[in-house]
Structure 1
Amino acid sequence: MKPSILFIVPAEYEALKEKGVDSMILERDEDGFFGKVITLHPCCSKTRSISLNECHEIYEVGFDLIPGGEHWRLSMYAQYPVQFFRVIWNAVKLVKKYRINLIRANDPFWMGLFGYLTSRICRIPFCVSIHADYEKRMALDKSISIVKVFGSYKLAKRLARFILPKADRVMPIRETLGVQAVANGADTEKIRVIPHGIDFSPFRLFTAHNIFDRFGVDPRRKIISFVGRLTSENYVNDILDIARKLEEKRQDFTIVMAGGGKEESRIKHEVFSDAILKRHVFLLGFQPKDICFDLRRASDVSLCLMAGFSLIEACAAERPVVSYDVEWHYELVKNNQTGFLIPEHDVNGAVEALDWLLDRPEESEEMGKKAKALAFEHHDLKSTSKIKIMCYSEMLSQRE
């Protein structure tokens, strides 16, 4: 019989659908390794269950004990103690109902605590995956709630230091996060790096959408694309500054930005009220994946100042990338090989790199080919799935 796994994830299904990343849930069975994959979302607006198919089911625990209470902060705070026990009770119930063999918590904070307590009650292994440099994200956007406990990042760090040593495996998405995890108490022997995996099949298909015709982009312009959330952690203010300074050097470019986010309204207002930005920045709003893929391929350069999956996709589109030298970007962005790594907030450096690439289409094309090869080598979904299966198998065999 195939094993079953419980994911505990700080998300809500509707929000994942809005971002266009809900299909990634279906990848959690690792190409059939797991017979049943249950996903628990502990902090949602309403309680419900969602059946995606025979293998995948989602359970959401909402702050809905008080009607309409999810809209009021004080009401949510009042529900916290009860919500905590509701989540544990639901997690234990799901483990028993679906005969779960393994728990994976998708952060070392609240999700990690839920995973740890459930694993101890049910006596099954649990692992913690780490998906970001949380300290860096907090520095860029202090409103991020995922890395806070009762509004405090210090408490969250203490909680992580409690959880990480107790996990059967700690699974960061890159090596640098593993080093940070060890510094926060994780056992070096239990670290297993699980790189992001991407289904590259869309990048092997012919382009389906003419971006110039579809959105009215001037075909005489060179496209610099940004695909991602319009948030401060993605350096959207720097992108606008880059547009202003690049305009001083040349007029033949358009920065096309695809994505929504909490900064969207402000960015729109700034673009439409600034003559330079209005000429050189094109806001598409949120777009489905297929259009984002084709936008990347229609680009001359991809601008990924801060990126996760989007950096992999940008490289897979066979275009050079300009990125800040933060987090893990150095793994894919190699200076003068696949693009350019620029010091954080060095707007002038980014402008120089973009200007150089736009003036040299042959060199840019060669860099794009190398970027694609590197992305395919390290982040193909089938390869990364094998790595995760090895990690899961280790934990399952230890408890047999």
Structure 2
Amino acid sequence: MAASNSPGSRWADGCVAAGIALLGGALLGLLALPTALLLRGIPRKPGRRLLCLVPAGFEAILTKGVGSLISEREEAGFWDGVETLYFPSEQNRRTRWSPVQTIRTLRPIARFLKGAGWTACHHTLNGLRLAVWGLSRSLSIRREVTVIRGQDPFPMGLLAAWLAGLTGVRWGVSLHGDPDLSRRLDDRETARWGRSRRLAETAQRWVLRRAEAVWVVRPSLTEWVTRRGADRDRIAVLPHGVDLSFWKTPETDAVRFRKEAGLSGKPLLLFIGRLEKVNYPEDFLRIAAEVKRSHPDLQAVVIGDGSQRRALEAAAGRLGLSDSVRWLGFLPRESLRLWRAASDVQICLMGGFSLLEAAAAGKPVVAYDLAWHRELIRDGATGRLIPEGAIAAAAQAVCRLLEQPEGAQAMGEAAQAAVRDHYDWPIASERRQAAYQRLIGV
């Protein structure tokens, strides 16, 4: 049963998906009302426990080397227990991450439908799967959970609202990036939302209007959620925290690492991130090619992987960078620390958590003037901000940093100080704990 991309096939896909949603929704509604009434009389266990719903595969999170974000949810003892659901993941399993946190992963069902072109049916069935999972867990959620947090308004914010309606547990939704920008830059996001974008945007607005709390990781997202109906009084800015002590690396360690890597005396340009269009990896290569004209011994290191890897390797060859680029794939966090410390300039054209880590490492950063970057990078002071797509300007900024090492060092230290003052882990955790306390009335 294959569906083409023609208007007729999309219409058929949408009609079948609507039928599945209506039938499944009706059955869930019949079960939900008596369940909610029965659960209201169930007493809660003492203590504070968080249920976090994440729209990503657990395996992908580990591969990207951002496991610190998982531990961040525990808030250094604020929660007595944390359970995090990752969907869609590669398998169904329950794992003990730490004495406090449990990881639960769910596989999507009916994958063959997506492969055959029945995308709307695939997403609808998996939405119902999440709703059924929530219904099956409603008793334990009622008894044990204090706060439900859905990451992104749709679909996990919608699931959080469903669970809160069933159980009476307090809930909120968090936003970690600009969805509009992601869809503009990432083909995979466009494909993911393409056939159901209007429905998704309607769901986003519904969730944001009703959420008891809306948490955004940076001030620039406040306006985005407000335009979609979020109550300003319920919005809190809760940035990610960075363990600054981890990223501070003695210069002697950096020098030794460069020597062991065969990079002594060579300018080192660093890129860390997924090799997807949203991170501008091809622009990184074009910048490196421009810089190499005046610094022929330049070494460009790419850490990360993704769907663009093969195309980027071919592009590096066309740009004359075959002997200048090292493709290292994803690396452990300790290796990232050493590579950041050893670099001369870090290129983070589009970054979220990666930009924070780059600044925390104390080496100068060149970024595009996009999204939230101005909240951390002050051009010429804590890094360089370049207009999107301005390859020549970015290359010129890199060359100046390479040719003025004292100024580059001062810029890196200023960025590290900005992280210390606003994003160091204890500061960020204190803000999040205060937001949770407001929600649960402590």
Q: State if a TM-score over 0.5 links the two structures.
A: yes
Q: Does 1:27 align with 2:60?
A: no
Give the AA of the match of 1:20: G
Aligned to 2:18: none
Q: Does 1:153 align with 2:164?
A: no
Aligned to 1:299: 343
User: The residue matched to 1:38 in structure 2 has which SS?
Assistant: strand
Aligned to 1:85: 128
Matches within 5 A, 1:1-400: 1-64=46-109, 69=112, 72-73=115-116, 78=121, 80-97=123-140, 99-144=144-189, 148=193, 151-206=195-250, 210-216=256-262, 218-271=263-316, 273-274=317-318, 276-397=320-441
Structure 1 residues 81, 242: closer, same or farther in 2, change over 3 A?
A: closer
CA distance in 2, matches of 1:170, 1:321: 30
Aligned to 2:43: none
Task: Say which is worse superposed, 203-212 or 245-254, in terms of deviation.
Answer: 203-212
Give the AA of the match of 2:258: F
User: The residue matched to 1:393 in structure 2 has which SS?
Assistant: helix
RMSD after superposition? 2.3
Aligned to 2:14: none
CA distance in 1, matches of 2:131, 2:319: 54
CA distance in 2, matches of 1:305, 1:142: 18
CA distance in 2, matches of 1:108, 1:78: 21
How much has 1:240 moved relative to structure 2?
Answer: 1.3
Q: Could you say which structure has the higher helix fraction?
A: 2
Q: Kindly indicate whether the alpha-carbon contact (under 8 Å) linking 1:13 and 1:22 is maintained by their aligned counterparts in 2.
A: no
User: The residue matched to 1:40 in structure 2 has which SS?
Assistant: strand
Give the AA of the match of 2:242: I
Structure 1 residues 340, 205: closer, same or farther in 2, change over 3 A?
A: closer
User: The residue matched to 1:248 in structure 2 has which SS?
Assistant: helix
Unaligned runs of 5+ in 1: none
Larger gyration radius, structure 1 or structure 2 = 2
Give the AA of the match of 2:184: A
Unaligned runs of 5+ in 2: 1-45
Structure 1 residues 94, 384: closer, same or farther in 2, change over 3 A?
A: farther
Q: Kindly indicate whether the alpha-carbon contact (under 8 Å) linking 1:134 and 1:147 is maintained by their aligned counterparts in 2.
A: no
% identical equivalent positions: 31
CA distance in 2, matches of 1:83, 1:154: 18
Structure 1 residues 387, 319: closer, same or farther in 2, change over 3 A?
A: same
